[in-house]
Structure 1
C-alpha cells in the first residue's frame, strides 16, 4: 500500500464532471467503496448500473437469493445515505462471478444508460477481481464506441493486490472529500453489513482493515 499512498497523496486534484455520471457497480457496495465521495458530491446527476446482486458472496453458507435480496436492500440504504435516489439504480441481475461471460451485455447497458456527454465511472482494468476487471473492459469498449463519453476508473482491491506500477502509462487524479462527505461515505459503507460481518464461522468479505483506502480524504480515479 506504500506506493499507492504516495501516488494518492501526490495525484492532481479532480473536480466532479458537470454532466451526467454513470457509475458501474459489479456488486452492491462497489459504487460506495470506489466512488462514494463522487456520488455524495453529485447525487442528482448519478445513475448506478448494478451489474450483479452479489448473491454468491458466501457460497455454501447463505442461499444466493436470500443474500442477493439483503444486498439490494443494503445498496438502497447506502445510496440514500449519500443522497442518491435508489430508483436511479438499473439492475442487470447477472450472477456474480460470471461477469466476464457477459461483457457485451454490460457494454450495451452502459451505452443505453449514458446520456450524451456523460462520464462513465467504472472499475479499473486491474482491480484484481474478475468481475471488476470485466466491467472495466466493458466500459472501455463503450467509451471507444461513443466518443462523446468520458471515462474515469475507480479502484479498491487494487490497493491491496495490484502493484502501483501497473498504473503506467495511465495517471491518477484525486477527488477531495471534506469531513462531512467522508462521514457520509463511511456510513454508506456501514450499510453493507452483510459484507462487513460474515456468516457464523466465516470471514467477512470486507474485513475492517481493508477499508483504509476507501476512507481517506482523497478518492482516486485512474485516467486512461
Structure 2
C-alpha cells in the first residue's frame, strides 16, 4: 500500500527557464554584434576606435546591475544613462523604420512586395543577467530590420543611394552611442554609505569618477531596472 503523504506537504515547482535566439540578416547588424577590436598592426584600422561586441555590452550591463545590487550609486547612474540612451535610440530607429514602411507601401496598385530576409541569417543564442542587456539586443534587432528595409527600398528605387547611406549611418550611430555607455562604465567598489561618511574609498571614487547625481544618490531618480529602486524609494520616503 502506497504511503500517504502528509497533508502539510506541498508540491513545489522547479526553477523557471527560458531560452532566446535571434536572427540577424544584414551585414551591418552582424558587424555591430561582433564589434571591432583595435588592430595596431593593420594600417587600415589605425585611427578607428574600438567598438564593443554585443556580448561585451551585455556583460557590462550585467556588471552595472551587479554593482548596483551592492548599493553602488555610480552603477545606478550608469544604468539610468544606459536606459535613457536605449529609449532614445529605440524611438529614433523605429521612426526610420516607420518612414521606410510608408515609402514601401506607396507603390503603384497591383504591385506587391514580400518582406526581405537573408537566405542564410546568423542565428545567435542570447543570455543576459539583466533586462537592460536584452534591451540592447532588441535595439540591434531593430537596426537589422531597418537595414533590411533600407536595402529593399533602395533596390526598387524608392529611395536614393544617399538616403540609403544616411539612414544606415544614422541608425548605426544610435546603436554605437548605446555601446559607448557600456564601454565607458568603470566598476569601483564604493557604496552610498561610503560617500555619506566620506571614507577614503569614497574620496578615491570621486577623484576617479566625479560626483554622484544627488537624485540618484537619494534614489529619487533611478533606472526602471535598477535593483535598488524599491529599497531606495522606501528609504527616501522614510527620511522625508
Larger Rg: 2
Q: Which has the higher helix share?
A: 2
TM-score normalised to the size of structure 2? 0.24
The structure whose RCO (Cα within 8 Å, separation 6+) is larger is: 2
